[in-house]
Structure 1
Amino acid sequence: MLTTTLSFENMHKHGELMVNLLRARKQSFIVQNNWDLPEVAGMEYDQYDTPASSWIAVHEGERVLAGVRLTPTTARCGMYSYMIRDAQKGMLESIPITLLYDEAPIDPNILDASRVFVARDVPAEDRTEVQTRLMKKLIDTAREMEAKQVLGLVPAIWPRWIRRLGLFAEAAGPVMLVDGAPVQVARMDLSRTHH
Structure 2
Amino acid sequence: MQTTTLSFANLHNHGELFANLFRARKQSFIVQKNWDLPESEDMEFDQYDTPQSRWIAIHEVGEVLAGFRLTPTTAKCGLYSYMIRDAQRGVLGGSIPQDLLYEEAPVDEGVWECSRVFVNHAVPQSVRRKVHFKMVEAMTGAARELGATRLIALTGATWPRWYGRCGLHAEAIGRVMWIDDGNFQCVSINLADKLH
TM-score band w.r.t. shorter chain: over 0.9
- The 3-state SS of whatever aligns with 2:46 is coil
Q: Which residue number corresponds to residue 48 of structure 1?
A: 48
Contact 2:149-2:195 at 8 Å conserved across structures? no
- The 3-state SS of whatever aligns with 2:141 is helix
RMSD: 1.2
Runs of 4+ in 1 over 3 A off after TM superposition: 192-195
Contact 2:144-2:195 at 8 Å conserved across structures? no
- The 3-state SS of whatever aligns with 1:90 is coil
Contact 1:73-1:108 at 8 Å conserved across structures? yes
Separation in structure 2 between the aligned mates of residue 155 and residue 11 of structure 1, nearest angstrom: 29
- The 3-state SS of whatever aligns with 1:47 is coil
1:83-162 paired onto structure 2 within 5 Å: 83-92=83-92, 93-162=94-163
Matched letter for residue 180 of structure 1:
D
Given the alignment of the two structures, is residue 4 of structure 1 paired with residue 9 of structure 2, yes or no? Answer: no
Matched letter for residue 63 of structure 2:
R
Q: Which residue number corresponds to residue 188 of structure 2?
A: 187
Matched letter for residue 189 of structure 1:
N
Q: C-alpha offsets along residues 52-104 of structure 1, whole Å, 9 cap, x if unaligned?
A: 00000001121111110000000000000000000001111311111111100
Aligned length: 195
Give 1:181 deviation, angstroms. 2.1
Gaps of 5+ in 1: none
Matched letter for residue 83 of structure 1:
M
Q: C-alpha offsets along residues 92-139 of structure 1, whole Å, 9 cap, x if unaligned?
A: 131111111110000001001110111111111111110110111011
Matched letter for residue 165 of structure 2:
R
Matched letter for residue 84 of structure 1:
I
Separation in structure 2 between the aligned mates of residue 3 and residue 71 of structure 1, nearest angstrom: 18
Separation in structure 2 between the aligned mates of residue 177 and residue 13 of structure 1, nearest angstrom: 40
Give 1:193 deviation, angstroms. 3.7
TM-score by length of 1: 0.97
TM-score by length of 2: 0.96
Give 1:194 deviation, angstroms. 6.7
Gaps of 5+ in 2: none
Q: Between the two proteins, what is the percent identity of the paired residues?
A: 57
Separation in structure 1 between the aligned mates of residue 70 and residue 11 of structure 2, nearest angstrom: 15
Separation in structure 1 between the aligned mates of residue 122 and residue 156 of structure 2, nearest angstrom: 17
- The 3-state SS of whatever aligns with 1:65 is strand
